[in-house]
Amino acid sequence: MATWAFSSSDTTVTQASYDVQVYNNSTGALVFDTGSIASSVSQYVIPANTLVNGTEYKWRVQYTDSGGNASPWSDYQVFKCSSAPTVSVTSPTSAQTITANTVTVAGTYSQSQGVSEQSFRAVIFASDQSTIYADSGTVLNTANQYSVSGLPNGTYYAQFTVTSADGLSTTSGKVQFTVNFNGLASSVGISTTPLPDAAAIRVDFYTPKSIPGTYVGPGETYKPGKWGQAIQVAALGEKVYFTVAPFNQFMYTSWFSPQIASSAMKNDQVIAHIQADANNYVEVRYDPVGQTFILDYCVAGNILTTVSPSGLTFNANDWLMVALRQTSTLDAFVGIGGNWYKWTVEVDTTTTSNTIGVMTFGTGTYANPVVVKNMSYTTAYIGCSPQDGNEANALFDQTHLTAQTLTDSDIEELYTNATQQTFNFESMFLANFDGDLEGGTATPTPIDHWNVYRLYNGIQKLLATISNTGQPTVSYTDSTPFSGLTYQYNVVPVDTSGNIGNPQTAQGSVEFDGWWLSDPTTGSLFQFYLNVADVPLKMNRQRTEYQTSGKYPIVAYSPTRYRTGTLKSMVVDQFNSTQSPREQYESLQSMIDTHNMLLLRGDEGQGFMIDAYGEIDTVPSRNHKQYHNVEISWTEVASA
């Protein structure tokens, strides 16, 4: 479409007609001429199929006013015809389930006239297809891929946009994919702390605890286990048990291979036995005759026995899960044959029998739940009791003992979704029997380092990579947040092979006073905390005026748009106990002398990447050495 502006020194006349001509810019041949068209409209759409993509043209216009006066022909304007590029999403594929913790969105670019690619953008939407979860922004290269770590399990949509060197863009359709990842140990207990005196946010998280006393026994073959403890690999049929640091609140979860369990369960087969000593323990048994699970709670040699619903048989196509949870009460859970049951150690006031009634999950009422004794357990047997022989572990696929207790609905959801466990900060052991039912090892592999990400408005930024030195508490200080904004921090563990674990997330924000200048590369900070003048923020635009034969010029703007300003501050020694005012100014000067892009942040949420220059240090008179006046000039050079 050709557009122009009518102008005349005679303000009483208007445009009456126009003529638009289009030429081949290479050959100079006239390609199209509208002829004189009677109209006051100052634009014309060149008919379809008149021009050829890939060819450069030039056009000009002449108009006649209502007084019959013809204007001179305008200057030529050069343009090129080009078709929009073609784009497709190559990764992830439609309906793909991604079992890793890093998702890479990749796309392809093509253009029928061979116009090169200028940029791309990848966006990941949440399940509602409108909320942006991650956004690469416009990337000025042709890599055409964007990776995001730490997506929680769920459904997402990927979309890809490419732009040609001619400035034409095409956006793909949205490709659905699912993240379903169970991976490395996670650092739970992540928290954030605002640091207003440093214009920063501290992120604290924890190294999963080391349990050097944990082992599986007996036997002779050992492997290095989680966090360095010795883990024995039991041969098929050997007795398996763990000893751990004393604990009294726990969550025990075991998964079974039903094809084996259905034929290998003996009479009163012990599923789990957790004990302080021989007279104080918790035990779950299975009775294949009555088809019931039995919960024994023994205190000082006295046993309370609670029986599950009867008729619980194995289905070779369904996984079997048994869970034990002790807080102030003791509860047992069984997922079997697609059904879910719960029962609790109870005192039945209507009978002297120790066999207490049963309860199906979600229905019925309890009698009087027993308040459990606060005993310290130290040993957990998998599929056997201390009195049993070496026949236990043939039944198991995975067993997890942790101090991180779950709600009823959380436990039911584990079974419903067939979700096995991952090692976490509260884990005491995690034994995987490798699917072949031979032995186990505490998994997963140790954490080598953490990646700390900050997510805001759909943009995820890698802030730091922190090595695992074995310290129980790890801290990272984000010295670049804007005042008053709420960020999500994702801490992602990575092992030595590059495998990525489940992220832990926390939100954080900080509000601070004054203006802060920081170097994201070195971490240097300088606060303009006693501003002695208002802070001017000048907006600059590239603007060009073209003189015409008419009364008014034509004004054009380029995309260039940036801010400039000055900052003035009084530097006082009482605000910095380690540096004199002169030393503080020299620190500022050193920061500027690096010629790095610096981040300037204000207390109302402003933020600019700047080039700072023209620093001035006003030295006080002899009687006022305790303060200096400093000033810098700055120019915005990139988006913050």
Q: In sequence order, which ranges of 244-341 are alpha helices (DSSP H)?
A: 258-264
What is the phi/psi pair of residue 302, to 5°? -100, 130
Task: Check whether 404 has a pLDDT greater than 50.
Answer: yes
Contact 424, 402 (CB under 8 A): yes
Which of helix, strand or coil describes residue 587?
helix
Percent of the chain with pLDDT over 90: 22
Which token pair is 191? 């928290």
**Mean pLDDT within 136-145:** 89
Q: Which two tokens stand for residue 545?
A: 């005026």
Burial class (CB in 10 A: 0-12, 13-18, 19+), 551: exposed
Map tokens 């070195």 to a residue.
Answer: 522
Question: Which of 142-146, 375-379, 559-563, 583-587 is modeled with the greatest confidence?
Answer: 142-146
Under a CB-based contact definition with an 8 Å cutoff, are residues 263 and 257 in contact?
Answer: no
Q: How far apart, in whole angstroms, are the C-alpha atoms of residue 635 and residue 561?
A: 11
Asked if residues 242 and 347 have their Cβ atoms less than 8 Å apart, the reply is no
What's the rounded mean pLDDT across residues 107-129?
A: 92
Residue with tokens 């034969």: 549
More confident residue, 509 or 248: 509
- For 49-53, 319-323, 489-493, 497-501, which range has the lowest pLDDT when averaged over its residues? 497-501
- Of 13-27, 230-244, 366-380, the poorest mean pLDDT is in 230-244
Q: Give me the pLDDT at residue 203, please.
A: 93
591 or 231: which leads in pLDDT: 591
Calpha distance 202→199 (Å, rounded): 10
Burial 619-637 (b: 16+ CB within 10 A, else e): eeeeeeeeebbbbbebebe
Give the length of the chain: 640
Query: 290-349, pLDDT tens digit by residue?
Result: 888 888 888 878 777 777 777 777 665 667 888 998 887 788 888 887 777 887 776 444
The stretch 473-489 carries a mean pLDDT of 90
Express each pLDDT in 564-585 by its tens digit: 988 887 776 655 556 777 788 8
CA angle 518/523/527 to nearest 5° reads 35
Contact call for residues 628 and 568 (beta carbons, < 8 A): no
* Predicted TM-score (pTM) above 0.95: no
Tokens matching residue 154? 């769920």
Closest by CA position to 310, among listed 296, 335, 293? 293
User: pLDDT: is 157 or 376 the higher one?
Assistant: 157
Residue pair 107/90 in contact by the 8 Å Cβ criterion: yes
In the predicted model, is pLDDT for residue 517 greater than 80? yes
210 with 612: CB under 8 angstroms? no
Q: Are the CB atoms for 384 and 270 separated by under 8 Å?
A: yes
Predicted local confidence at residue 162, as pLDDT: 94
Contact 19, 36 (CB under 8 A): yes
pLDDT of residue 504: 76
Specify the pLDDT at position 573. 63
Q: Is the pLDDT assigned to residue 31 strictly greater than 90?
A: yes
300 CA to centre of own chain: 49
Per-residue model confidence (pLDDT) at position 25: 92
Among 518, 461, 514, 521, residue whose Cα is nearest residue 487 = 461
Burial of 505 (0-12, 13-18, 19+ CB in 10 A): middle
Does residue 193 carry a pLDDT above 80?
Answer: yes
pLDDT category at 491 given cuts 50, 70, 90 is confident
| Highest mean predicted confidence (pLDDT) among 358-362, 411-415, 597-601 | 597-601
